[in-house]
Structure 1
């Protein structure tokens, strides 16, 4: 049998087969195609987000990350330096907890009629309820989120609202000693998330094995926590902000410290640095108590400040960096890597102790900058565009928790808290 038209049909047939094959392959593998999500760089409505303004990126993820300080201890003035007031609880042994079964961790599946009624009642609530199970170190804070432009949040310390709370915030340092007395006796509800809140470094807090898998979310200074809240951050200037004016300087290098330990890396580096440059020292470690007013005056009159952390861990960057910057001083950072600091502030706004191979080289650079005002002033280029803000300890963590809960209704769980944070 012959077909005169067949040769002319062959290209059409081959093309059709090729198209069908492509469609079949696309349908088989399209679930693996990943599209860029530029929304994670917007943050909280900011039109742009440099690396050091992207601390909230982790909050936009729909799944838990791969775990997943010295604290303010004068709540009447949340901007007080932690070096000015020793928190005796920081030195306490958390003790040994020998018998405790964490509350039952409920499945995200709601099946019984009672559970359905409870879930429906929660959904009908006009606001997201966050229960502050204990105030950090006993210091209360205002139960309002309007200052952060976060709406429809009901912060409460009323434990009778436990059955309605969408989230329960637990401050880690306040459950170290009396675990049985400090956690809810009731099971966690299916719609509810327990949030682990801790701003201490691993060296200054202790794991609790009985609660290793009890939490749904983490709220911490680490940028890979579910709800990251660093000790400070930078914001774009507004028309209402005053122009930066460099305070008068009469000292080259200053340091205020209370927590002294000869084995700390910062103490070792200080002992070497002081051999090559004069350092004006204050704080109880040097027998010179400093109050809040003196703290600001001292730092603002120094060209450089030793922003030395008491321990070196991932993202552990405290107010020792942010407050000197806000007061018009250049911080000399000793803590995690320079790269981690640059996630928070511009790279040319500070000096990292590892920028120099020896303390002597650093001292020589400081002495040089003391004579070169034009070069020194370059450390303040950022002030033409940004300002430094201190985080509001406790209150900001509760409000950011509320915002996270509003945007994340899915079930989440911290599978191994101790390995993620202390591992």
Structure 2
């Protein structure tokens, strides 16, 4: 029998111990270095019973307007959509929603990691081109456009919806003739110049910060309901500029919903008529001057039958407003869930700014 010195047995056992310890450290390091998204993905799916939920990462809260991330099913009956603002989920998110007005001029606050092959970037903007900065470098970044324009991949806008059955909606009593609620006015805008001239010929009752008459949301509703006519003046009015087409906002749909006749300034009449009945509003372009428009409003104020004709559409339709911005996020998630095919969009700046 070969005699093995104790020292060699000790060295062997010590080496074996060190080897086992070293291997365990390697395994621990591998585990600890797993991407954080693995834990985040699990956390994001904990609230859902479906492991195949579509994950939409909200990169910026639009204008810092936050909302309940679990609203898609309860508010819009959109199922299997998981909204998150956790940027650790970036590498596994099916889509990333990016609000244009929150992008830095040098694009420095956009995702830094490469985009996964399966992921869609959704460009979101609901302001007019004239009031949104055109940013170089966006043309080849996004797969999907979300906008008020009919040519966008995801179109979201206020609209009229057919009622299940005809109904009569009596108008509330009107204590005011012409109203306008506005907070910020720029003296160079066409709407300001038109208002200043119109106000010389018919009294416009103004509300909002500009007129030093701040009102609450409840007062906003009550005020418009009390007006016969409401100045639905958009902040753009370029007759020859195609970029303003379809830019028709809640400034028009709120008075329609609340029983006032919108007096509109913005896109041309034919653009409005794509979305609302031609006899539901008054367009400033139909008159040669603000005085001529004022004379027409005076006439309608004295002729109840003619005034009531502007509401005949209410028998058949109702106004559907957009729930900003939670509806936009849910519709974006719904889109990328339903449309798995490859997409590319290469001319964003030209498409939107011309």
TM-score by length of structure 2 reads 0.79
**Equivalent residues in 2 for 1:234-249, closer than 5 Å:** 234-238=160-164, 244-249=169-174
- Structure 1: which 5+ runs fail to align? 1-123
Residue aligning to 1:271: 196
**Equivalent residues in 2 for 1:294-305, closer than 5 Å:** 294-305=219-230
The verdict on how the C-alpha distance between 1:129 and 1:243 changes in structure 2, with shifts beyond 3 A counting, is farther
Residue aligning to 1:224: 151
Mapped pair 1:174 → 2:105: no
Mapped pair 1:129 → 2:55: yes
Contact in 2 for aligned 1:305/1:330 (Cα 8 Å): yes
Residue aligning to 1:195: 122
After superposition, what is the alpha-carbon deviation per residue over 1:181-236, rounded to whole angstroms, capped at 9, x for unaligned? x2212111111110011111112221221223211111111121111112x11222
1:178 positional shift: 7.1
CA RMSD of aligned residues (A): 1.9
1:256 positional shift: 1.3
Contact in 2 for aligned 1:305/1:329 (Cα 8 Å): yes
1:266 positional shift: 0.6
Contact in 2 for aligned 1:221/1:229 (Cα 8 Å): yes
What is the distance in 1 between the residues matched to 2:313 and 2:92?
45
What is the distance in 2 between the residues matched to 1:305 and 1:372?
17
SS at match of 2:214: coil
**Equivalent residues in 2 for 1:379-390, closer than 5 Å:** 379-390=310-321
Residue aligning to 1:306: 231
Mapped pair 1:258 → 2:183: yes
- Structure 2: which 5+ runs fail to align? 1-49, 238-243
Contact in 1 for aligned 2:167/2:315 (Cα 8 Å): no
SS at match of 2:351: helix
What is the distance in 2 between the residues matched to 1:167 and 1:367?
53
SS at match of 1:211: coil
SS at match of 1:387: strand
What is the distance in 2 between the residues matched to 1:293 and 1:153?
33
**Equivalent residues in 2 for 1:108-127, closer than 5 Å:** 126-127=52-53
What is the distance in 2 between the residues matched to 1:286 and 1:316?
25
Mapped pair 1:160 → 2:84: no
SS at match of 2:279: coil
What is the distance in 2 between the residues matched to 1:202 and 1:229?
16
Contact in 1 for aligned 2:167/2:316 (Cα 8 Å): no
Contact in 2 for aligned 1:259/1:310 (Cα 8 Å): no
What is the distance in 2 between the residues matched to 1:383 and 1:202?
32
TM-score by length of structure 1 reads 0.67
After superposition, what is the alpha-carbon deviation per residue over 1:241-267, rounded to whole angstroms, capped at 9, x for unaligned? 985231110111111112211211111
Residue aligning to 1:316: 247
Contact in 2 for aligned 1:176/1:206 (Cα 8 Å): no
Contact in 1 for aligned 2:94/2:120 (Cα 8 Å): yes
What is the distance in 2 between the residues matched to 1:140 and 1:177?
23
Contact in 1 for aligned 2:78/2:330 (Cα 8 Å): yes
Query: How many residue pairs end up in the alignment?
Result: 297
What is the distance in 2 between the residues matched to 1:410 and 1:384?
41
